[in-house]
Amino acid sequence: MLDIEKLHVTVDGKEILKGLDLSVPAGEVHAIMGPNGSGKSTLSYVLAGRDGYEVTEGRASFDGKDLLAMEPEERAREGLFLAFQYPVEIPGVGNGTFLRSAVNAVRKHRGEEELDAGAFLKVAKDAMKRLGMNKDFLSRAVNAGFSGGEKKRNEVFQMTMLEPRLAILDETDSGLDIDALKIVADGVNALRDPGRSMLVITHYQRLLDYIVPDKVHVLSGGRIIASGGPELAARLEAEGYATIEAAA
Ligand code: ADP
Ligand code: MG
Ligand code: MG
């Protein structure tokens, strides 16, 4: 589903990713853990196609297509979804309106019937109930005045509604208390599917107690320096990043 080879990325003239290799097969959930400043968000931004992230070397393909050659909107239509570490506030744009147009753009691209307001509301209310969200989320402006935890829930809500093929969650656990974390993890787990891959980026092992990944990768200094099963996350928690960095 996602194949990254020797990716080098420069931001503001500074090389952040320095030859990153990563493969996430269809149906798998992979976790990326790494210390602050190791390049985790840079990786998610470059995959989503954010301006200012210059690829100087390497390649990335999504379902066999050259991901880096696609416009950001095209990536989204093809089923790439990024849940941001710092979700943006869009005052004046209703959350429901925003999400319905995004959902319908994807449905149209897939050749599926678009959802009218009533049909959208029904699916959205269902998803919000599962995620423990208040109905008024839909009528509020996108993320405006949302607490940190509400923004994170809203990201998972968007993901649930968009049914992406590849979802990247950048520190979706930060700012969540333990109850919200469980709800969000349940929401993510409910989206596990043989046709869907997920990349869960986190600083802490805690989230991975609830979203048990197929593989764990350690990102340090702009490269994947170790990969393993869920036990690698437990080892990181016990030993910290330094021993693994020293061994790499
Ligand atoms: P992480 O998400 O793992 O904490 P980031 O990808 O956010 O790491 O950042 C990686 C490194 O890139 C950090 O050293 C950060 O200071 C640097 N960086 C990120 N964005 C910029 C930018 N716009 N200009 C210069 N340096 C940046
Ligand atoms: Mg960080
Ligand atoms: Mg980050």
Ligand closest to 38 (CA) is 1
Residue 48 token pair:
């989503």
d(CA 160, CA 124): 9
Question: Measured in angstroms, how far is the CA atom of residue 201 from the centroid of ligand 3?
Answer: 8
Look at 1-5, 100-104, 174-178 and tell me which has the smallest mean pLDDT: 174-178
Residues with CB under 6 A from ligand 1: 11-12, 14, 16, 34, 36-42
Question: Measured in angstroms, how far is the CA atom of residue 225 from the centroid of ligand 2?
Answer: 18
Mutate to test the pocket of ligand 1, among 7, 16, 53, 223 (most ligand atoms within 8 A of CB): 16
Question: Measured in angstroms, how far is the CA atom of residue 98 from the centroid of ligand 1?
Answer: 29
169 backbone dihedrals φ, ψ, rounded to 5°: -110, 110
Per-residue pLDDT averaged across 14-42, rounded?
96
pLDDT at 13: 95
Question: For residue 68, what pLDDT band results from cuts at 50, 70 and 90?
Answer: very high
- Please check the confidence at residue 173 and state whether its pLDDT lies above 90: no
The residue with tokens 């990944």 is 213
Question: Measured in angstroms, how far is the CA atom of residue 139 from the centroid of ligand 2?
Answer: 31
Closest CA to 239 of 205, 189, 188: 205
Question: For residue 149, what pLDDT band results from cuts at 50, 70 and 90?
Answer: confident
pLDDT at 148: 83
Question: For residue 145, what pLDDT band results from cuts at 50, 70 and 90?
Answer: confident
Closest CA to 42 of 88, 73, 82: 82
Alpha helices in the chain (DSSP H): 40-48, 72-77, 95-109, 117-130, 148-162, 178-190, 230-239, 241-247
Percentage of residues in the chain having pLDDT higher than 70: 100
- Please check the confidence at residue 85 and state whether its pLDDT lies above 80: no
Measured from the Cβ of residue 159, the count of other Cβ atoms closer than 10 Å reads 22
121-158 b/e (C-beta count within 10 Å ≥ 16 → b): eeebeebbeebebeeebbebbbbeebeebbbbbbbbbb
Question: For residue 152, what pLDDT band results from cuts at 50, 70 and 90?
Answer: confident
Question: For residue 84, what pLDDT band results from cuts at 50, 70 and 90?
Answer: confident
pLDDT at 97: 93
Question: Measured in angstroms, how far is the CA atom of residue 45 from the centroid of ligand 3?
Answer: 10
End-to-end CA distance of the chain, in Å? 27
Which homologous superfamily is 2-247 in? P-loop containing nucleotide triphosphate hydrolases (3.40.50.300)
Question: For residue 123, what pLDDT band results from cuts at 50, 70 and 90?
Answer: very high
pLDDT at 61: 97
Ligand 1 atom closest to 43 (CA)? 6
Q: By three-state DSSP, how is residue 158 classified? A: helix
| Domain spans, the chain | 2-247
Per-residue pLDDT averaged across 222-228, rounded?
96
d(CA 156, CA 135): 15
Residue nearest to atom 5 of ligand 1 (CA): 39
Question: Measured in angstroms, how far is the CA atom of residue 41 from the centroid of ligand 3?
Answer: 4
Mutate to test the pocket of ligand 1, among 41, 169, 225 (most ligand atoms within 8 A of CB): 41
CA distance to 78, 80, 104, 108, 159, per residue, from 111 (Å)? 12, 17, 10, 5, 19
- The residue type found at 77 is R
pLDDT at 29: 97
Measured from the Cβ of residue 44, the count of other Cβ atoms closer than 10 Å reads 22
Ligand 1 atom closest to 42 (CA)? 6
Q: What is the mean pLDDT of the chain?
A: 92
CA distance to 24, 77, 100, 189, per residue, from 195 (Å)? 12, 16, 23, 14
d(CA 136, CA 61): 39
Ligand 1 atom closest to 52 (CA)? 23
pLDDT at 50: 93
Per-residue pLDDT averaged across 204-208, rounded?
88
Q: What is the pLDDT of residues 37-60, one digit of tens each?
A: 999 999 999 999 999 999 999 999
d(CA 193, CA 200): 15
Residue 222 token pair:
């702009």
